[in-house]
Amino acid sequence: MIAECQVDYVGRLTAHLPMARRLLLIKSDGSVSVHADDRAYKPLNWMSPPCWLTEEPAPQDTDAQALWVVENKAGEQLRITVNQIEHDSSHELGVDPGLVKDGVEAHLQELLAEHVQTLGEGYTLIRREYMTAIGPVDLLCRDADGQTVAVEIKRRGEIDGVEQLTRYLELLNRDATLAPVAGIFAAQQIKPQAKTLATDRGIRCVTLDYDRLRGTESTEFRLF
């Protein structure tokens, strides 16, 4: 949907998007995201499922046509004030086959899921390919203290991978049932710049030895 709208987030923090033309995506999984035309795929604001959209009377002191309230189970809200709808269409996309990873990268994910305690004593797996509104997290785990940990796995760890994990963490930490969520960036090689950025953001880096993980030698990790 293309609409002239104002968006207010009300929750642990507050955020305000003034009236402007924007793209609103309302997906079948219940998620709602608000996009501008200059920020690639990252939304300006969003609400992840489970959440519910209801329509309320528009504020009387405005020219708005409608007020849409998107609320999650934690009581956080996206309040979308719509002045004008310029385009509205609905499309059924069907079942998506998902992201096809490089063979080695996919196998690393499988191996770590099977032997998740190699990330730390007491680690347990919650789910592989944990879906979010902006893509799947490779592994979602819990550490020995019960804290949620998101793990992003790459063959070569570069800055864009750290940025990707940062976006996942920002989104996951909005979910009161998961927060606080820590991050682990795992790769066969991690570039120094990526390691510096990850450390600055409180993300732990793990260097993986693929051959040893496959069982040719004893599994070993080098932690930074």
pLDDT tens digit string along 199-211?
Answer: 999 999 999 887 7
pLDDT tens digit string along 157-173?
Answer: 999 999 999 999 999 99
Rounded distance between C-alpha atoms, residue 207 and residue 224, angstroms = 8
Residue 41 reports pLDDT greater than 70: no
How much is the pTM? 0.56
b or e along 75-104 (b: 16 or more beta carbons within 10 Å of the residue's beta carbon)? ebbbbbbbbeeeeeeeeeeeeeeeeebeee
Cα angle 105, 193, 167 (rounded to 5 degrees) comes to 60
Residue 7 reports pLDDT greater than 50: yes
Task: For each of the domains in the chain, give its residue range(s) and CATH number, in order of start.
Answer: 2-87 (2.70.180.20), 103-223 (3.40.1350.10)
Q: Maximum Cα–Cα distance for the chain, whole Å?
A: 71
